[in-house]
Amino acid sequence: MLVQGAGFVFAVTSQIFGWYCPLTYLEVWLREKRGTAQVYPGSFIAHYAGQLVYVDVSPTVIFVSTIVLIIVNVWIYKMAFMKTKASA
């Protein structure tokens, strides 16, 4: 419980003061030391999470994926509804 509390205090403190995770500084230092990798501005989380959230794909792929997800979702709900109706 003490470790979780310390982690929570560190997370809140780092957010209040705008600190980055210590691993971000380590990664930047190692990238600079290597000399071949490009160093990114900001935090480790923002850099890599941004790449996951803002994926470079065409609008057509996003549209087709959305339609497929809607169809799958409707099918799952239909099957669950039919199963519930059959057991009642």
Helix (H, G, I), strand (E, B) or coil at 62: helix
Total count of domains within the chain: 1
Give 25-48 pLDDT, tens digit per residue.
888 888 888 886 677 777 777 777
Kind and range of the H or E element at 85? Answer: helix 59-87
How confident is residue 23, by pLDDT bands cut at 50, 70 and 90?
confident
Residue-wise DSSP of 7-33:
HHHHHHHHHHHTPPPHHHHHHHHHHHH
> What residues make up the domain containing 19?
2-87
Tell me how far apart the alpha carbons of residues 88 and 77 are, in angstroms, rounded to a whole number.
16
**Between 13 and 87, residue with greater pLDDT:** 13
Residue 17 in this model has a pLDDT that exceeds 90: no
Tell me how far apart the alpha carbons of residues 24 and 18 are, in angstroms, rounded to a whole number.
13
Give 57-78 pLDDT, tens digit per residue.
888 998 999 999 999 999 999 9
User: How far is CA 38 from each of CA 4, 30, 45, 77, rounded to the nearest angstrom?
Assistant: 34, 11, 16, 46
